[in-house]
Structure 1
């Protein structure tokens, strides 16, 4: 059962019905958390902004700015934007001086040797190898987590906050969130911190209950503000936790909800999240008590989306890791179990989340991108993606009065019309050195390489692919600009004409 230490003032806020607002983002809202306002992945273009470009310049799309991420640059956290600043959390490790380790007891098996071991022995060997590898890393390295703050207009570094942290098997990947004057970020050692958005100074920190087991946490905090500088932070880290925004005090925990990848959605006094085992669960924001559970969604690493229809009816979207779960839409009705309205079982993705832009739902998976009707779940169009194993990356959308543009950024910068009629690409660009984005054909001509030549393929990979977009990170959008992670840089492109 959840344990609760809810402050009386916050309990009053929840009982009075203060809620996070689902549905289309309003003009003026910012991409201050993972997947933007409302966590639906879409944002309107300001009315006074120039029109969005319909194609790329002939000589390539040049960045408005590009910033080097110095030092640690790992993890798959995405940028967020608020009040003219861009925030990015990265992670890595620093080698300890003077540490020399003996040869490992469980080295990787030479190719073919694993065929000689019975399945049970091979599984045990692999478990021992992974455990030993992590322990050796902890002895040899210190974990390092860095939060960067850049000027959104120029890319100038405004401040940097560094801390030593736990060494994890994969780099920590939780995306921070901005609430008022605080930036909330989670470390791989389960340390949750609030930093001052203007200075980067620590306001408070608290360690979440639970074991530090060497695995990264990808769940990104959702925040319900109370308008007085306080509120509730909710995140999933092998248990669902509610934390006081004002001072970092633990308000409640629900240790029964496993998982560390899905990011919660907030709606009508509830926090909704996908958990281990493929269920979607809602808990009361007041005390963490479970309100309802949907067992059939098949979603665990993706994040739920709460939105509203044109008739202002609340909807919940889930996206499973297999086609059996698929993309599902439920009617929300307060604390009652949601009603399944439709299921679109044509594609799946192990961790990507859908985007809602008006009546359009964009879902990536199985090397394709599908557009589905929010109203009835009918498929509107499918785009085949010429990409190697695209997964985990969630699309984004910039909405205008006459449609807008959708963005998918796994491997390449793909922009397309937001329309129900058909897939209409605007540009499909690969990001190369200095952030310059061109078509693959343009880059191949410039490098004088052909697709079928092994040396040419290796050169293209070395010069373009390794300089390009970071797979699995998602874009952030603000005022017609898109902010994207490269492998060692953060880049900004102006999408307007």
Structure 2
């Protein structure tokens, strides 16, 4: 709702210009991977040069590496984005400033260690664990960073550093860049906007609502002059000033970690987001007014819009991958695909097909009918949360390593499956098995053990940061690892 008379006037002025909503957004990202899931939030870049179909025999060296960057529980899982020749990344750092806490009394319990606990006992355990983690956090100082690198050389152009706060998991959304503005949701429900060229903070706005240690992983959506933030509910902020234009219904827009998306139809623009109970909620981006909701069984995967179709990927086979036909007054289920599932992976959508990852598989689904074209197996231990991307006729999935596959409905065709060593050389596993002599039958038991230990330390424990997603720009792939940001040139040479 509007906060005061000036906001109300702004809402009225914005409402009179519905046809320009998302127009700046669309024009600014025609070629750049400037936001979560790329140019149209479909995970796909159609305009790509010819890409390599296999790795060089000696492996592929990185174009550049960033140097050490904290990640995962220490630095977050944010994915890189690229805009106007600059790569951006949102990270965190925690530093010990007090006495180091001792062993945990209430550590996280894997499902197999909860056996014998009643629901009430486990709920009480989790309550104690949360309290303990919050107490332990007082021994640390928390900071967050937005980092900018030259996309071709890796030169660090600027770093914006700000004080942060403890959250149960580090805030890990992607920056969103439109024009010279960069938008990010910081820890503690703080909406921020930076100058994308200099890193100077332009404004920051604490979002209303209670905060203890909650974390929100959704990325910011720019809908014309309104920046849409998902932090327990949706908020619309003026992109120029950070002033709150509207606050979404706290119940109906109560979201997951999924990022909202924009839909344009007959010159009108709409914001679509996963809200309470996994339902899809459709809002007017100028006023935040809810226009309709529909049951969708959404989870943490972000909604995807392609034309007048909406795709929602649930977190169970029963919920499945669901496609809706969109109308200004509602949405109707077109088809439901129930052969894969994942906790948070968002599919790739081209003009004609959907490529969806789940349960150590990737499947190709016809966008019009929902019929399965093929499934392929991923030779990975337990891939989850990470999202595939596509560029031209090649799809990529990064988890234990990087798998490249053909984007075609004809059949699953793996182009290469790469692993990385400590120097970030990307090569087939056969290359590393030969390097460490893992298939050498002349090794005795002790020598074989040493070879496997060396392989695990230098290759097996390396690779992409799990739960993070690569970015693509004009033939270059930008990939976050456990302690670095890496750039690879995947362009095919004549």
Q: What TM-score comes out, normalization by structure 2 length?
A: 0.89
* Map of 2:218 onto structure 1: 219
Q: In 2, Cα distance between the equivalents of 1:21 and 1:315? A: 19
Match of 2:318 among 324, 333, 341: 324
Q: Which moved more, 1:253-262 or 1:15-24?
A: 15-24
* Map of 1:166 onto structure 2: 165
Q: In 1, Cα distance between the equivalents of 2:271 and 2:325? A: 16
Q: In 1, Cα distance between the equivalents of 2:110 and 2:288? A: 49
Q: Which moved more, 1:454-463 or 1:430-439?
A: 454-463
Q: 1:11 to 1:130 in 2, by over 3 A?
A: same
| Structure 1 residue 91 displacement after superposition | 1.4
| Structure 1 residue 200 displacement after superposition | 0.7
| Structure 1 residue 432 displacement after superposition | 1.7
- Kept in 1: contact 2:65–2:486 (CA 8 A): yes
Q: In 2, Cα distance between the equivalents of 1:485 and 1:350? A: 20
* Map of 1:75 onto structure 2: 76
* Map of 2:128 onto structure 1: 128
Q: 1:14 to 1:305 in 2, by over 3 A?
A: farther
- Kept in 2: contact 1:22–1:267 (CA 8 A): no
| Structure 1 residue 412 displacement after superposition | 1.4
Q: In 2, Cα distance between the equivalents of 1:199 and 1:234? A: 23
- Kept in 2: contact 1:450–1:456 (CA 8 A): no
How many pairs are equivalent?
A: 475
- Kept in 2: contact 1:327–1:345 (CA 8 A): yes
Q: Which moved more, 1:24-33 or 1:252-261?
A: 24-33
* Map of 1:253 onto structure 2: 247
Q: In 1, Cα distance between the equivalents of 2:409 and 2:316? A: 25
Q: In 1, Cα distance between the equivalents of 2:282 and 2:204? A: 26
1:496 aligns with 2:491: yes
Q: In 2, Cα distance between the equivalents of 1:251 and 1:284? A: 12
> Where does structure 2 lack aligned partners over 5 or more consecutive residues?
none
Q: 1:320 to 1:164 in 2, by over 3 A?
A: same
1:264 aligns with 2:260: yes
For residues 100-179 of structure 1, the aligned pairs below 5 Å read: 106=106, 120-137=120-137, 139-179=138-178
Q: In 2, Cα distance between the equivalents of 1:272 and 1:215? A: 23
The superposition leaves residues 435-466 of structure 1 with CA deviations (integer Å, 9 ceiling, x where unpaired) of: 21011121122123369977655543322243
Q: In 1, Cα distance between the equivalents of 2:425 and 2:109? A: 41
Which secondary structure state, in structure 2, belongs to the residue aligned with residue 464 of structure 1?
helix
- Kept in 1: contact 2:31–2:47 (CA 8 A): no
- Kept in 1: contact 2:11–2:287 (CA 8 A): no
Q: Which moved more, 1:193-202 or 1:22-31?
A: 22-31
Which secondary structure state, in structure 1, belongs to the residue aligned with residue 435 of structure 2?
helix
Which secondary structure state, in structure 1, belongs to the residue aligned with residue 126 of structure 2?
helix
Q: In 2, Cα distance between the equivalents of 1:328 and 1:99? A: 50
1:426 aligns with 2:415: yes
Q: In 1, Cα distance between the equivalents of 2:206 and 2:42? A: 29
* Map of 1:311 onto structure 2: none
Which secondary structure state, in structure 2, belongs to the residue aligned with residue 429 of structure 1?
strand
Which secondary structure state, in structure 2, belongs to the residue aligned with residue 90 of structure 1?
strand
Which secondary structure state, in structure 2, belongs to the residue aligned with residue 194 of structure 1?
strand
Q: What TM-score comes out, normalization by structure 1 length?
A: 0.89
- Kept in 2: contact 1:92–1:171 (CA 8 A): no
- Kept in 1: contact 2:223–2:285 (CA 8 A): no
Q: In 2, Cα distance between the equivalents of 1:472 and 1:112? A: 23
- Kept in 1: contact 2:2–2:11 (CA 8 A): no
Q: In 2, Cα distance between the equivalents of 1:55 and 1:445? A: 18
Which secondary structure state, in structure 1, belongs to the residue aligned with residue 75 of structure 2?
coil
